[in-house]
Amino acid sequence: MTSLRTTGTVAVGGAAHAAPPRRRARRRARRWTAFAFLAPLIVYLVVFYSYPLYRNIELSVHDYTPRAFVQGNPEFTGLENYLDILADDTFLRALRSTAVFTLASIAAQYAIGLALAVFFHRHFRLSAALRAMFLVPWLLPLIVSASTWSWMLNSENGIVNAALQAFGIGQINWLTSPDTSLLAVTIANIWLGVPFNLVILYAGLQNIPADLYEAAGLDGAGPWQRFRRITFPLLRPVSLITLLLGLIYTLKVVDIIWIMTRGGPADASTTLAIWSYREAFGTGQPDFSPAAAVGNLLILIAFAAGLVHVRLQRGEDRA
Amino acid sequence: MNRSSMSTRTAVLATAALALSALTACASAPQGASGTASASAGGSYTWWDPYPQHDASSAWAKRVDACGRQAGVTIQRTAYDTTALTNQALLAGQEGNAPDVILLDNPAVSTLADAGMLSAMSDFGLEVNRFDKNLVAAGELDGKTYGIPIGANTLALYYNKKILDDAGVDPASIKDWASLTTAMKKVKAAGKKPITFAAIGTEEGSFQFLPWFWGAGAQLTQLDSPQAVEALTLWSSWLKDGLAPNSVISNSQNTTWEEFLTGEFAFAENGTWQINSAAGADFPTGVVQIPAKDGGVAPTPTGGEFITVPVQKDTGRYDVTKKVLECMTTPEGLVETGTTFAYYIPSTADGQQAILAKEPSLKPWVEAVRSAKGRTSDNLGTDYPKISEALWTGVQKALSGAASPADALKQAQAQAKQAVGD
């Protein structure tokens, strides 16, 4: 959008300086040129962003049974799909699971990512190699890491339970008990998200001038104080964007949960995203309309989080 | 000056044209595709199936080709993953460019038929009487048949002969639930794991539970009947007593089979498609029918694909399609399909005779298929997927201990009723 605006200003500004007689014609020509340059971007935005969004809303306010989907004559139901979803028992559970899954994930990812970033910032021997190893979760295809996690957490044959048994802790049914399955997928998701946080926060740390630490050291600030008074406040903008991106990524996580538990057992690890996916593709009978409605609710939540971020950011700029 | 504005204008026009053509290309892609399909009406027919594991050089692909040649056309075959196929088919139906033939997993047939996407077999004069009634039933909706089974598979109990011998269990003694549970307890006492099955929260979970559900005398129209509760109580008692591993709750049928192949398990509930793999196991295996609660063979659900013919604008295409379908379902054709797929039991009596003559060891499977029952039968049709979802959720609740079998099924019945109601 920024580039769009700049192009417009340049073109109009240029036209203002043109010679009076041919001024109007030239201005029009330039406007057309500007539009021509914009056209590909606008087409791209419409085809790949506006239309899918419109379609999602359209799906959610109609009753698209498979029959209606094929014949293209769905009944208009207004907000009925939304009301059905809000009244569904699954909704509150899924909302709670989504909140727990998302908040626990990004809090832990951020904390671990920040700790590791500060740790690696000290440039000891082998730190580059170790840092590279922390990126592995990011590089692995999700199907691989999710399957590996579900093998490790297997009730009877998993390595995690084998290790716990060595300490005399009995079998924990990580993925097959309604009490632990959400915890299990959250742990796996935290592991997946740490590298992202590590990389961004590490980059943020590079931007903090070293002389600040030096000066603080001369003033007698200990390591903890240096972290609290310099690192943390100066990382604030980077932290905010990391948390926002983490929130948006985590809200829409489907794959890892789907592979590990299918949202089960008994809906215990069903988040809103899983619910939406299951309605649309998880059963023999695709139910696109409620799925789209749940999807739109998710977009609203992410959008609200984005607004909060913009607000915080503005406060930051003013300060 | 003039020249430069000319060139600007040309540039503008060119860009606009480019953008426009990009737009129209997007918008008209489906029509374009259907246009090419009908343009080549004489020569090329399209065919979708859910067997991506069989590539262009496979015996299956060659068989499809041969049937096309026999009908005087070339067949363009595209393979999709099973769930992707249903979605692709729906999309194609929406765009009006469905292929000439789709091989569909049987519960999907009534969904697509209800969408008005499929032509009934009677519409182009294909005889369906020669197919086994219980198998064709899954392709029926409101008295019309929308697909024919190219073969059928179903479930039975594979056993590890070595473990049973060591534990002193005679497989022939397994006649009902009680004798099965006794056998499993003996296995456990001998230090081995008794049974594994798949109770995953997908269609596979319902598929595996149905033999026990039907074997108790329960009906899919009443998920919380006392018989249904008995079936679910049987499964959850196995978990509680340590006769089955807790991981069955998240096991797919493939995972279950992998577990059985480790040689640690006495029994595994699995399907016809594992016959070859069982023969190649490191230990001797055998098969018994899944017993009904009070003896006899439990009705097992049929699996397997149906040939369906999506509605075409150009009805002239049906003649050739009919020839292709007939070629695929001759007794020899069915035997060939059956052996290609290791193993599919033919869907006609003639075909079953023919495959038994070739492979007498398939006898228990042929019998199982004959007593099997379609999941969408009993005129459940498009309601089945919704009922099934409620059922597997209930099974998961009971096995994971989130609810008692009776409560889990009561909730399942309520869920199914609500889902079917709208």
pLDDT(A46) > 90: yes
**A154: nearest CA partner in chain B:** B247
Task: Answer yes or no: is A309 within a domain.
Answer: yes
* CB within 8 Å: A265 and B399: yes
Chain B from 357 to 416: CB within 8 A of any A CB: 382, 384-386, 388-389, 393, 396-397, 399-403, 408
Using one digit for the tens of pLDDT, what is the confidence trace for A54-104?
A: 999 998 998 888 888 888 888 888 888 899 888 888 899 999 999 999 999
Nearest Cα of chain B lies from the Cα of A237 at a distance, in angstroms, of: 39
**A33: nearest CA partner in chain B:** B12
Residues A46 and A96 in one domain: no
Candidates A39, A65, A176; nearest CB to B247 = A176
pLDDT(A267) > 60: yes
Check if B112 contacts A (Cβ < 8 Å).
yes
Residues A152 and A40 in one domain: no
Domain ranges, residue A38: 1-7+22-58
Listing DSSP states for A167-204 in one string gives: TT-----TTTSTTTHHHHHHHHHHHHHHHHHHHHHHHH
Chain A from 161 to 180: CB within 8 A of any B CB: 171, 173, 175-178
In this prediction, residue B9 carries a pLDDT of 53
Instruction: List the one residue out of A187, A182, A195 whose CA is nearest residue A110.
Output: A195
**B82: nearest CA partner in chain A:** A284
Picking from A67, A155, A260, A278 by the largest number of B CB atoms within 10 A of its own CB, the best residue to mutate is A67
Fold of B43-149+303-370: D-Maltodextrin-Binding Protein; domain 2 (3.40.190)
For chain A, the domain total comes to 2
Nearest Cα of chain B lies from the Cα of A20 at a distance, in angstroms, of: 14
Residues A41 and A139 in one domain: no
pTM of the model: 0.79
* CB within 8 Å: B400 and A33: no
pLDDT(B38) > 70: no
- The mean pLDDT value for A129-133 works out to 86
Nearest Cα of chain B lies from the Cα of A225 at a distance, in angstroms, of: 48
Q: Locate tokens 């899924």: which residue? A: A94
Residues A37 and A151 in one domain: no
Q: Which chain B residues are within 8 Å of A261, Cβ to Cβ?
A: 201, 250
Alpha helices in B216-305 (DSSP H): 226-240, 253-261, 275-279
Task: Answer yes or no: is A64 within a domain.
Answer: no
Mean pLDDT rounded to a whole number for chain B: 84
Task: Answer yes or no: is A98 within a domain.
Answer: yes
Comparing B23 with B398, the larger pLDDT belongs to: B398
Chain A from 240 to 279: CB within 8 A of any B CB: 260-268
Candidates A156, A177, A264; nearest CB to B401 = A177
Candidates A26, A263, A281; nearest CB to B83 = A281
Mean pLDDT rounded to a whole number for chain A: 86
For residue B264, the one-letter residue type is E
Residues A161 and A29 in one domain: no
- The mean pLDDT value for B221-237 works out to 94
**A172: nearest CA partner in chain B:** B246
Chain A from 29 to 58: CB within 8 A of any B CB: 29-30, 32-33, 35-37, 39-40, 43, 47
pLDDT(B17) > 80: no
**A264: nearest CA partner in chain B:** B201
- The mean pLDDT value for B288-316 works out to 89
Task: Answer yes or no: is A86 within a domain.
Answer: no
Using one digit for the tens of pLDDT, what is the confidence trace for B189-222?
A: 999 999 999 999 888 899 999 999 999 999 999 9
Residues A258 and A143 in one domain: yes
Cβ partners under 8 Å of residue B247, min gap 6: A154, A155, A156, A157, A175, A176, B255
Q: Which residues of B377-388 are buried (b: 16+ CB within 10 A; e: fewer)?
A: beebbbbbbbbb
Residues A155 and A48 in one domain: no
Is the CATH code 3.40.190.10 the one for domain B155-301+379-421?
A: yes
Q: Where are the domains of chain B?
A: 43-149+303-370, 155-301+379-421
Q: Which chain B residues are within 8 Å of A33, Cβ to Cβ?
A: 8, 11-12
Candidates A66, A154, A267; nearest CB to B115 = A66
Using one digit for the tens of pLDDT, what is the confidence trace for A188-246?
A: 999 999 999 999 999 999 888 888 888 888 888 888 888 888 888 899 889 999 999 99
Where in A21-76 does DSSP place strands (E)? Answer: 62-63, 75-76
Using one digit for the tens of pLDDT, what is the confidence trace for A96-118?
A: 999 999 999 999 999 999 999 98
Alpha helices in B40-140 (DSSP H): 59-70, 82-95, 106-114, 133-136
Picking from B220, B396, B407 by the largest number of A CB atoms within 10 A of its own CB, the best residue to mutate is B396
* CB within 8 Å: A40 and B201: no
Rg (CA), chain A: 26
Q: Locate tokens 């090329």: which residue? A: B44
In this prediction, residue B141 carries a pLDDT of 84
**In this structure, are strands B140-141 and B144-145 parallel, antiparallel, or unpaired?**
antiparallel
In this prediction, residue B207 carries a pLDDT of 92
How far is A224 from A187, CA to CA, in rounded Å?
A: 28
| Confidence band for A21, pLDDT divided at 50, 70 and 90 | low
In this prediction, residue B234 carries a pLDDT of 94
pLDDT(B398) > 90: yes
Residues A142 and A242 in one domain: yes
Instruction: List the one residue out of A267, A171, A316 whose CA is nearest residue B392.
Output: A267
**A46: nearest CA partner in chain B:** B23
How far is A193 from A206, CA to CA, in rounded Å?
A: 21
* CB within 8 Å: A66 and B388: no
Task: Answer yes or no: is A121 within a domain.
Answer: yes
Nearest Cα of chain A lies from the Cα of B19 at a distance, in angstroms, of: 6
* CB within 8 Å: B247 and A154: yes
Residues A141 and A288 in one domain: yes
Taking CA atoms, B211 is separated from A108, B150, B255, in Å, by: 45, 22, 19
Check if A309 contacts B (Cβ < 8 Å).
no
**B96: nearest CA partner in chain A:** A70
| Confidence band for A1, pLDDT divided at 50, 70 and 90 | very low
Nearest Cα of chain B lies from the Cα of A280 at a distance, in angstroms, of: 9
* CB within 8 Å: A178 and B400: yes
In this prediction, residue A276 carries a pLDDT of 92
Task: Answer yes or no: is A12 within a domain.
Answer: no
In this prediction, residue B202 carries a pLDDT of 86
Cβ partners under 8 Å of residue B43, min gap 6: B73, B74
Picking from A147, A285, A287, A288 by the largest number of B CB atoms within 10 A of its own CB, the best residue to mutate is A285
Residues A207 and A283 in one domain: yes
A·B CB contacts under 8 A? 140
pLDDT(B175) > 50: yes
In this prediction, residue B243 carries a pLDDT of 93
- The mean pLDDT value for B150-172 works out to 91
Check if A151 contacts B (Cβ < 8 Å).
no
CATH number reported for the structural domain that contains residue A170 in this entry: 1.10.3720.10
Answer yes or no: are the C-beta atoms of A141 and A255 closer than 8 Å: no
Task: Answer yes or no: is A71 within a domain.
Answer: no
* CB within 8 Å: A33 and B26: no
**B22: nearest CA partner in chain A:** A43
Residues A123 and A209 in one domain: yes
Task: Answer yes or no: is A68 within a domain.
Answer: no
pLDDT(B56) > 90: no
Candidates B12, B200, B399; nearest CB to A33 = B12
